[in-house]
Amino acid sequence: IGPDYLPGHAHADTLSFELSLFNERILVNSGTSQYGYGLYRLYERGTKAHNTVVINSENSSEVWSGFRVARRAYPRDLEIYKCDEFISVSCAHDGYLRLSGQVIHKRSWVLQPGKLVVRDQISGEFEDAVSYFHFHPDLYVSSLNSSTHLLCLPISRERVHISVKRGVSSIKESFFAPEFGIRLNRRCLAIQFESNNDVEVEMT
């Protein structure tokens, strides 16, 4: 999350990502609306404010106060594979090894023409895990059923379908901070892990 001697501006965002399609922003982390110390600052530095997995309601790195970090996540086992048909990237991190269940989070992205598949896997024992996908506030978000969601892009008028193949999904409210002092309401997809310890999302 940054150099060990100066981690104070870092967020607990290991394995998060952002996504743009058709020159429009689709998935965005929460940004930074507050500088210094406060509840918004703590939330925006936390894992829940990013497009990644929260386990046992804990941050992947221990961010606290305004500019402090204790135990932190380190990426591991990065693999990148390219061929004519697709590109895959996978990586894990050890930020949740401090939990009693010795938890490891691994994420993979598989990109091919017209499709992105994101898969989260958890090894170890845990009580609760949620994978978050935060949408840009300009998008119109609707649910076709409990596992299929539709994004309508405001400029290109393109549509993106999100199918949750594993896990239990729901649409929740969150906010996006494009700059200091501004917070815009937006929606996010929260996917609860079930007993098989993985979540899979397909975007087309």
Whether the pLDDT of residue 43 is over 70: the answer is yes
The distance from CA 181 to its chain's CA centroid, rounded to whole angstroms, is 23
Among residues of the chain, what percentage have pLDDT more than 90? 76
For the entire predicted model, the pTM comes to: 0.92
Strand partners, 179: 182
Residue 10's pLDDT is 81
Residue 35's pLDDT is 81
Phi, then psi, of 171 in degrees rounded to 5? -100, 130
d(CA 108, CA 96) in angstroms, rounded, equals 18
Q: 114 pLDDT band (50/70/90 cuts)?
A: very high
Question: Which of 31-40, 54-63, 69-78 has the lowest average pLDDT?
Answer: 31-40
Give the up-direction half-sphere exposure of residue 44: CA atoms within 13 A in the CB hemisphere. Answer: 26
Question: Do residues 70 and 35 make contact, with C-beta atoms less than 8 angstroms apart?
Answer: no
Whether the pLDDT of residue 56 is over 80: the answer is yes
Q: What is the mean pLDDT of residues 14-21?
A: 97
Number of Cβ within a 10 Å radius of residue 70: 11
More confident call, 55 vs 196: 55
Average pLDDT over all residues of the chain: 92
Strand partners, 145: 148
Whether the pLDDT of residue 5 is over 90: the answer is no
Residues whose CB is less than 8 angstroms from the CB of residue 173 and which lie 6 or more positions away in sequence, other chains included? 185, 186, 187, 188
Instruction: Encode pLDDT of 138-162 as tens digits.
Output: 999 999 999 999 999 999 999 999 9
Type of residue found at 29 = N
H/E stretch holding 11 = none
Instruction: Encode pLDDT of 63-88 as tens digits.
Output: 877 677 778 889 999 999 999 999 99
Among residues of the chain, what percentage have pLDDT more than 70? 99
